[in-house]
Structure 1
């Protein structure tokens, strides 16, 4: 395309993009590992030993002095470490927050399902209690049969009293 026919408000078509395919989960896993390590006592102990050795080699007996007293290189190393550590820790916290959110949603759905199941079982139990309340118990049936037998005996006795000469069989 010639410069004359080209408009400044349209992007040129010859763009080269560098495609970098990074697996965000893989980066997240490694950032969590680094963040966990940075939060341990072991890391603090290693860092303390490195600082003591650094200072000793620069002002001690050997006095190599590649980083004299204000220890600018040591400060630069700490600044670089802090510049990488803070985003890694934030990334790890965001991933943990996402896991917590998913876990909370699962807990809520499980609690709702448990509540629904409990309400269903309560209704079923109430229906069973009503059904059991309508059934005849053994003692009630015995009592009713005894009453019927007594009534039959009374009727037979009345008939016998009316007809003294009749055969009861």
Structure 2
């Protein structure tokens, strides 16, 4: 009763969210179970699993057909009922485990696709930026004076200075 009263007086959580027991933390267990389902799905998809299952079924049938009657546990006259149940049980667990593994793979694929999309967007933005920079550099280079242009301008200035000097010399002599 004291625990319930202390929960009612707590103001750090809304009334509907208060719990008398701490929440279960299954994230590590879920991941472990997920890895287990992937391992099962991977193992069931191999030729070795099919070979082992086939050998198991053949051994079961041979034992229960040719072994002494006291040692048989699943008689052939009844259609190997226990074998059918074992295989049905195996199939009933295999299908959901495989689906769980596929769901985990789908989740990983979804995350990978999103990361690839973001990377492609960044690459596109970088490429567009670099293209704009290249165009700006080309325009800037086009506006830059070439060596020949500067030489020609310097020759004109020197010629004009030479003319001025000659004019000043003729004005000074007159």
Gaps of 5+ in 1: 1-18
Distance in 2 (CA, whole Å) between partners of 1:38 and 1:156 is 101
Aligned partner of 2:37 among 27, 31, 39: 31
What residue is the counterpart of 2:53 in the other structure? 47
TM-score by length of 2: 0.73
* CA apart distance, 1:146: 2.6
What residue is the counterpart of 1:57 in the other structure? 63
What residue is the counterpart of 1:126 in the other structure? 135
What's the Cα RMSD here?
Answer: 2.8
What residue is the counterpart of 2:100 in the other structure? 91
Aligned partner of 1:111 among 116, 120, 126: 120
TM-score by length of 1: 0.75
Q: Which has the larger radius of gyration?
A: 1
Q: How many residues align?
A: 147
Task: Deviation per CA, 1:74-131: give whole Å up to 9, x if none.
Answer: 1111000000000000000000000000000111111111111111111122222222
Gaps of 5+ in 2: 1-22
* CA apart distance, 1:141: 0.7
Whose helix fraction is larger, Structure 1's or Structure 2's? 2
